[in-house]
Amino acid sequence: MWSDKEYAEWLLASQRGVLCRAQVLSLGVTAHGLAWRIRQGGSWQRLLPGVYLTVTGEPTQAQREVAALLYAGQPSIITGTAALLRHKIRCPVIATVDVLVPAGRERASRDFVVMHRTRRMPRSWTVDQALRYALPARAVVDTAAALTGLADARAVVASAVQQGRCTVDQIAAELRNRHRAAGYALLRAVLAEIAGGTMSAAEGDLRDLIASSGLPVPFYNPALFLDGKFLARPDAWWPQAAVAVEVDSREFHLLPEDWEQTMRRHRRMSAAGLSVLHVSPRQLRTESRQVLADIAAALHAGRPAPRVTMRRSAA
């Protein structure tokens, strides 16, 4: 059996120093004592109605998330960007904490907490008893509903899928379970791009750039074969000029073997007679005119490579 002191120490440690009012009173602190602690200049601070941080200073993100769940009550689960960041999925930084609660829960959004009532409370991924997060596919779809830019939606989906946090099929299945169609246009557009062969956020930017340029439309992510043997799968391919474009991002080449594989693929394509252009995501954003000029020059100078055949990505 734990002593009262041991229980109090465990509760404070597991909840990062955050307590709800009922917990404070259960530890023997009176209502008057609580009011004294959270007064101006006191040793505690009020984070949300009925939720307190037992130290002064700026709360950490984890403390804000614990506070959001204590405020929401059981059952509740963190979703949105806070969940994505916990899953190490790249996403826009948003100051609010999104929390899923059952549809019948009467609890209003407050301060940094945004409440989302749902009839489909999902399974959760728990860090410990104090922090509960939606699984990646659910968090991706919940986040996408609040995004306003296609580039941000692409980045979220690409990061989740390319890091193996969830699959495209899992995201699509989660989207199909939504009872309303409004609010998910950006996510549907990203999934349509993936089905059409665009596999990353930067490739989506490449597609947009080419579409607005007047250049011939390439094939995206086709499988190329040299004399019937697999050669490579470039991001964009113009067979009439044997020109391939590869979008290279350091984010997805963190290991030496990843970069070496990229270089081997470049050598194979060059040896097969292809003109291979490498661009970075930053160049797509800041040097778009030069990128288009380089592609146009390569198309003008190129000619078909008859030994290279193509198989399009499944749509």
Q: What is the pLDDT of residues 100-133, one digit of tens each?
A: 999 999 899 999 999 999 999 988 888 778 899 9
Q: Which tokens in the block code for residue 89?
A: 């999925």
Q: Given this model, what pLDDT does residue 255 score?
A: 41
Domain span at 289: 202-311
Q: Do 118 and 26 fall within a single domain?
A: yes
pLDDT over threshold 70, residue 140:
yes
Within-domain flag for 156: no
Q: Given this model, what pLDDT does residue 196 score?
A: 60
Q: Do 129 and 10 fall within a single domain?
A: yes
What whole-number distance in Å separates Cα of residue 236 and Cα of residue 208? 12
Within-domain flag for 157: no
Last residue of a domain, one of 133, 154, 175: 133
Number of folded domains that form the chain? 2
pLDDT over threshold 80, residue 74:
yes
Last residue of a domain, one of 133, 148, 176: 133
**CATH number of the domain encompassing residue 277:** 3.40.960
The amino acid present at 106, given as its one-letter code, is: E
For all residues of the chain together, what is the average pLDDT?
Answer: 89
| pTM for the structure as a whole | 0.70
What whole-number distance in Å separates Cα of residue 69 and Cα of residue 67? 5
* Strands 219-220 and 236-238, sheet pairing: antiparallel
Last residue of a domain, one of 108, 133, 158: 133
The amino acid present at 296, given as its one-letter code, is: A
Q: Do 8 and 125 fall within a single domain?
A: yes
Closest CA to 154 of 89, 250, 221, 79: 89
End-to-end C-alpha distance for the chain, whole angstroms: 61
Within-domain flag for 282: yes
